[in-house]
Structures are given as structure tokens and as C-alpha cells.
Chains A and B, each alone.
Chain A
């Protein structure tokens, strides 16, 4: 497909387990973002990759959260030792290169439930 693809769409796991969430951005998009949306709240910025630059990790809530990106392709968000407060929808977005601001295109998210 032509859009941002995220997998899995749903993930249920026990507290304390590690989880890995995947994002395939739109081909040619150099910027990739991860957000979290808790129930009834807005989107919370987590991390941002732009080309080969060092990622902006300023939104990661704790050292249990990490993310990697292979070149300008797939990204994985890893949450270690999950806690119940990690339950949320995790959204990935990508945007194309260009001068000035470029709108971000979102995937449908991964709904993570920690039991």
C-alpha cells in the first residue's frame, strides 16, 4: 500500500514483558515520528528520525522505551518491562523531504494493552 503501515494492529501482553512495534513509512519519506495516545488524551510525541541525523529522543518517557530506524526505512519501537501505564495506541507518522513544514502522514496505530 501507499500509506504508513504499522504492525501489529493490536497487541495484548502481560506486565513485565518486552514488546516491539513496527512502522513502515511511506517510500521516500525521510522523516519518521512515533507518538502515543492514551485514552481520552491527545497525541504525545515520543521520538523523531530525520535522515541520517541523530534522532530526537526528547519525548521518550523512560529508559524502558527505545526506537531504531534502518536508514530511511522501517522503524521499531521497543518497550522493555512493560507497565500498565504503557497501555495506549502507538502511532507512527512519516513526512517527505522538502523546504518548510511538511504534513505528517499517520499509520493506523498499534493498540497496546498491558494486563
Chain B
């Protein structure tokens, strides 16, 4: 029973273009969402988060959008750079807990 789903295992984008990574969830009790980036042989690093009371949060080239009615969030990276090539994990936090539920990840490749 996968509560957080990333249905695209991989995505390939040209440098300078927009990368859009998607994430769907099933539990309406999630109230905080995060995106992590992971390089091979390293631990995930925190990128950006959003609370369920918001529908958008922006940090430089990274913007996260939350659509609660659709139980969907997305991460936009613009412009994409080759150094953005990594696996991106979506994670959700249950209300009143600190426990994160992770998706299976999307491998982003940004080519020149």
C-alpha cells in the first residue's frame, strides 16, 4: 500500500528547460510535504518543503506546488542544469508526527 507515489521512474530534460517532477498521495492526513535530492552513494539532501496550508513555495530555481483536492504535488526546476541530475524523492509527513513516508523516487537526467 504505497501512500506516496512517484509514477515516473525517470525523466530526461535538456539543460535550460523546465523539469517537472510529480508526486501523488492517498492519505488526507498528510500535512507537510518535502522534496529530497539524492546523488549515488550519498544520503538524500533536503531541497524544499510545503505546508498543507499553502499551495506554492518557491526557493530560487525550485518551486513546489500543492493541489490538495487532487492530492498531488509537483516540483518545478527552472532552468534545469546538468548538476540537477539525481534521484528526487517526494516525502509526506502525517499530521502531528515527525514520521516521513517517501515515494520511490524519480531519476532526473539533465543533458546539455
Residues of chain A touching chain B, judged by Cβ–Cβ distance below 8 Å, are 4, 31, 33, 35, 40-45, 48, 50, 56, 58-59, 91, 93, 95, 101-109
Contact = CB atoms under 8 A, between A and B. Distances in A.
Main secondary structure of the interface of B (DSSP, over half): strand
Most B-side CB within 10 Å, residue of A41, A102, A104: A104
Contacts of A91: 43-44
B107 to A, nearest CB: 10
Contacts of B34: 103
Interface residues of B, number: 25
Contact of B99 (A48, A102, A108): A48
B49 interface: yes
A45 B97 CA distance: 13
Interface of B: 4, 6, 32, 34, 36, 41-46, 49, 51, 89, 91, 93, 97-105
